[in-house]
Structure 1
Amino acid sequence: MNPCPKLSTYLDTCAEPSQVSDMASARIIVIGAGMGGLAAAARLARAGHAVTLLERAGTPGGKMRQVPSDAGPVDAGPTVLTLRHVFDALFEDLGARLDDHVTLVPEPLLARHFWPDGSQLDLHADLEQSAEAVGAFAGARAAGQFRAFCTRTRALYDAFETPMIETAVPDRAAVTGLVMRNPRLIGAMAPGLSLAARLARDFSDPRLRQLFGRYATYVGGSPYAAPALLSLVWQAEAAGVWRVEGGMHALAQAIEDLARNQGVALHYDAEVAQIDVSGGRIRGVTLRNGERFDCDAVVFNGDPRALAHGHLGTGVLDAVAPEAVAPRSLSAEVWSFAATPHGRDLVHHNVFFGRDPRTEFDAIARGAPPRDPTLYVCAQDRGTGAAPPAPERFEIIVNAAPDSPEQEFEECHRRTFQTLKDRGLSFDPSPGPEALTTPAGFESLFPGSGGALYGRSPEGMMAAFARPTARSRVPGLYLAGGGAHPGAGVPMATLSGRHAAETILSDRIST
């Protein structure tokens, strides 16, 4: 199988011999070893480019990071692996098999959900099993509503996967034509409605509205501001959830190994101070220590807002449109630690809901911490076939506003652990300040992000078209990562790397 079918097509149809030689000798710098940067670097090296990857941290993965704990490294970033086919395709394109490099365990139980009234609901990878669980939880009418919701969101996902997610540059006219040819999609999309408003029509039980509204936060939005179209995010998880043995960071390490095997030169603890531009084109990058790398193109795997705010020099200030980086997405308070849990029977993915989601998101919209937040608890050592040790590793995520004032540790601790204790879950020992990353901490880790974890906010019907695509306004500068199209989340960031690589191949041949 040809590992680079798109490149092969170009060479067969439009490339002169001199163009082929130029492509093979291109020098490309990738800034950032997140999922988008790793995927772009490996694919570009596979296509014959000389690729150098520069990362300011000491390890790969970007936000898919780990921190030390008494029980070993614990995830401090994304915890859910969905859309496995994206990663199978990446490894196949690089002449490898995903299963030979990473151990993935499918989780038949997607998540366990807890409410303050003591009710509990498990959702499963098997749709009918979930429908039966919903029926036992909220009645036969709710089970029927759940099945209808799954049918509607499946139609939306199937309709928009190719023209939006899989396409490097979404075409508004093409998407509009698709909808006009399939008028049933209009009702399913519910244009003009927020996700919360659409869910109020879908479910009579407020707990189910709260549960499925949470999927807006997967891409950094509030269900009260995100469009109803984002109900399709549920389908990414409904299609299956996998647990990565060794933690999610193991996936980033495996892709880094493949990139090295393709010839990518990786440099860690290498912070880029400036992208050098001359004559309207990219010429190289300069590190904070003064070292310079000449290149023909740059892939920036970071938040595009960092470019607009001058973190990479004045030559790329106008690389993205202002509306591509604002308004900002959600941030979070993230706890990563080892402890022994007491109380609730946990699975790998657990959600503890607050009493009223409106109060949570209204507070975040004001830049204030929510008093009664939803708490996501990942029990990293639990899951299918896993026997948790003592102590276990945990990651807890609490939604927060970006650019929010730094909170006192005691206040953050109380908001998380007293709330969980009220819900019947406690930890021994209780984690200390070293376990916590706040929005200010994320800004320090990822300068220019403002603490936002998902780039631009998904609010607004046209938000998907507002995100920057792989090709920036500066010739020779390309974008990858969760802040670029197709958006936030581990599979989407990985796809952005493919889009960046393919766009570079296209631009260099056409030039």
Structure 2
Amino acid sequence: MRSERVVIVGAGIGGLVAALILSAKGCAVTVVDKENAPGGKMREVAAGGRRIDAGPTVFTMRDLFEEIVADAGVDLGDALSLSPLSILARHAWNADERLDLFADIDESAEAISAFAGPDEGRGYRRFCARAKRIFDTLDEPFIRTPRPSVESLVRGVGLFGLPGLMQISPFTTMWRALGEYFKDPRLKQLFGRYATYCGSSPFSSPATLMLIAHVEQEGVWLVEGGMHEVAETFARLAEARGAEFLYGERVTEILSEGGKATGVALASGERLEADSVIFNGDVAALAAGLAGEASRRAISLPASAERSLSAITWAMTAEAEGFPLIRHNVFFSDDYEGEFDRIFKAGRPPEVPTVYLCAQDRGDNAVSVAAGPERLFCLINAPARGDSAPLTDSEIAACETQTFQLMEKCGLTIKHDAEATVITAPQGFNQLFPATGGALYGQASHGWKASFERPGARTKLKGLYLAGGSVHPGAGVPMAALSGKIAATSLMDDCVSTRRSRPAATAGGMSTR
């Protein structure tokens, strides 16, 4: 294709993937980000003199990333150092009740049988088979489709795919569907937690989300250098193909003329002209008019859209004792339904939250490679009210007390101090990602229609495309990466279509840079 000028707003993984694909195809790509480094939500912070991943910590769907970089002539194994985990996560309810979930289904089934009885182990095998069927059914006709609808999904699976389509259970809640496989409430908690991977409640989201369990079962990988290294690597790959990155620059408006996106205006007063613009940020910012009136009118968000989960996080260097931490650990509260009721119905943080802890100096075994204090990232779910009713200091302090007391109940003592700890609450996430209230996953996936209501790559404004976790196919690092590929592919397809219908192209203006 000709040297299409493309400005990408946001250097999160969706924007980075789009930048790599488009620059490899010969486009003149400029990526603009208000932060001083790539990554978006895949960020890192400094705590106690060390860099800590303070966003996504799980790398899955390696095949998808291999596919993405292969399109740009890159071998993923040459670009990133990846090693598989044999234990997906360690789960605890108290000091005596622990359960490991393994990459090997047989090992997990045996562990579950020993933990809760042979019927639960058999239920787990049936659950895994169901989750795989859901993923296989939806992969091509829904997940990889630029803008799916119910009609296109039915057409996509075809006559022989209809039995599989009936298995995705869009009208049954995830929690209710889990009851078909597990009687033990602890196991329902464990597998219901996958709904939180896209910022939702297992009591309100469709059973379709069980496919996330299959994605993780297919493999969890450790990235040498941490998850932020994924973003740095994609930025380097795009730069090597000619993409330009402007960090510390804030976009104030997506420019348009004659019903077409023509570039962006920066807070500095500069204007970058372009043939196309990809917005890789939360669409809530566009809906709020933070990028101008033309882009606000270019999208339509459902009035019923519900914000996804936010979080309170502690990134720290600290000493951990008493519990055999591995890389990924989960400590469950006693009242799981009450936890989500407090967040989504009352708009309040949970009284006793379920806690996720990533020990970033550990792998499969309970030994830290760090001498002395180690890097820990702790997360609990919270309501996305960072713009309307920010959590008070006392609310955050109460959450911290309950969080660390729950881990102590499970046998883990963490010795940390304020100087070596970075706390981020919903209001902090709202500052990082404006107009979201701190919601980290876009729209919550509550109800069967939610997945079809996410915006697609194309907008009503010609030349403006969308990528990121708030658009189709959804939240999470692999889905956001796929959204970048879909946006880039849609842009290139439209360029080809335009050239065919209008062979005499009109030359654009020059950038003011």
Give the TM-score taking structure 2 as reference length. Answer: 0.92
Asked whether the equivalents of residues 153 and 188 of structure 1 are also in contact (C-alpha less than 8 Å), the reply is: no
Percent identity between the two aligned chains: 44
Among 320, 334, 343, which residue is 2:313 paired with?
334
* 1:63 match: 41
Residue 399 in 1 paired to residue 399 in 2?
no
- Give the C-alpha shift of residue 474 in structure 1: 1.0
- State the 1:421 CA deviation: 2.1
Of residues 291, 296, 309, the one that matches 1:317 is: 296
Superposed CA deviations along residues 177-223 of structure 1, whole A, max 9, x for unmatched, are 43864454355323421111111222111111010000000011000
SS in 2 for 1:285: strand
Contact 1:116/1:355 (CA < 8 Å) preserved in 2?
no
**Mapped partners of 2:304, 2:34: distance in 1:** 22
How many pairs does the alignment contain? 489
Equivalence for 1:74:
52
Contact kept? 2:321, 2:414, Cα under 8 Å: yes
Aligned equivalent of 1:455, options 442, 454, 468: 442
Q: CA deviation at 1:479?
A: 0.3
Cα deviation per residue 1:118-146 (whole Å; 9 max; x = unaligned)?
A: 31100100111110011011011101100
Q: Measure the CA separation in 1 of the matches of 2:256 and 2:21.
A: 25
Distance 1:182 1:280, change over 3 A: closer
Contact 1:156 1:232 in 2 (8 A): yes
CA gap of 1:503–1:443, structure 2 versus 1, over 3 A, is: same
Distance 2:29 2:359 in 1: 37
TM-superposed CA distance for 1:260, in Å, is 0.2
Give CA-to-partner distance per residue, 1:14-42, whole Å, 9 cap, x none: xxxxxxxxx41321100000000000011
Aligned to 1:235: 214
Which aligned pairs between 1:91-490 and structure 2 lie closer than 5 A? 91-116=69-94, 118-177=96-155, 178=157, 181-185=160-164, 188-323=167-302, 326-365=305-344, 366-384=346-364, 387-389=368-370, 390-404=372-386, 405-408=390-393, 409-431=396-418, 435-490=422-477
How far apart, in 2, do the equivalents of 1:417 and 1:447 lie?
Answer: 29
TM-score by length of 1: 0.93
Cα deviation digits, residues 56-112 of structure 1 (max 9, x gap): 000001000000122520010000000001111122111111121211110010000
Q: Which moved more, 1:183-192 or 1:358-367?
A: 183-192
Instruction: State the match for 1:501 in structure 2.
Output: 488
Question: How far apart, in 1, do the equivalents of 2:159 and 2:94 lie?
Answer: 44
- Matched residue SS, 1:30: strand
The Cα shift of 1:171 comes to 4.0
Whole-Å Cα distance in 2 between the matches of residues 244 and 279 of structure 1? Answer: 46
Q: Could you say if the C-alpha distance between residues 117 and 204 of structure 1 is closer, same or farther in structure 2, counting changes exceeding 3 Å?
A: farther
**Whole-Å separation in 1 of the counterparts to 2:426 and 2:420:** 14
Corresponding letter in the other structure for 2:19 = A
Contact kept? 2:191, 2:213, Cα under 8 Å:
yes
| 1:179–1:186 contact (8 Å) kept in structure 2 | no
CA distance in 1: counterparts of 2:374 and 2:310, whole angstroms: 25
Distance 1:347 1:88, change over 3 A: same
Once residues 387 and 259 of structure 1 are traced to their aligned partners in structure 2, the CA distance between those partners, rounded to angstroms, is 34
CA-CA distance at 1:174 after TM superposition: 3.3
Shift of 1:454: 0.4
Q: Counterparts of 1:255 and 1:459 in 2: how far apart (Å)?
A: 32
**Can you give the 5+ residue segments of structure 1 that lack an aligned partner in the other structure?**
1-22
Aligned residue type for 1:507: D
**AA matched with 1:39:** V
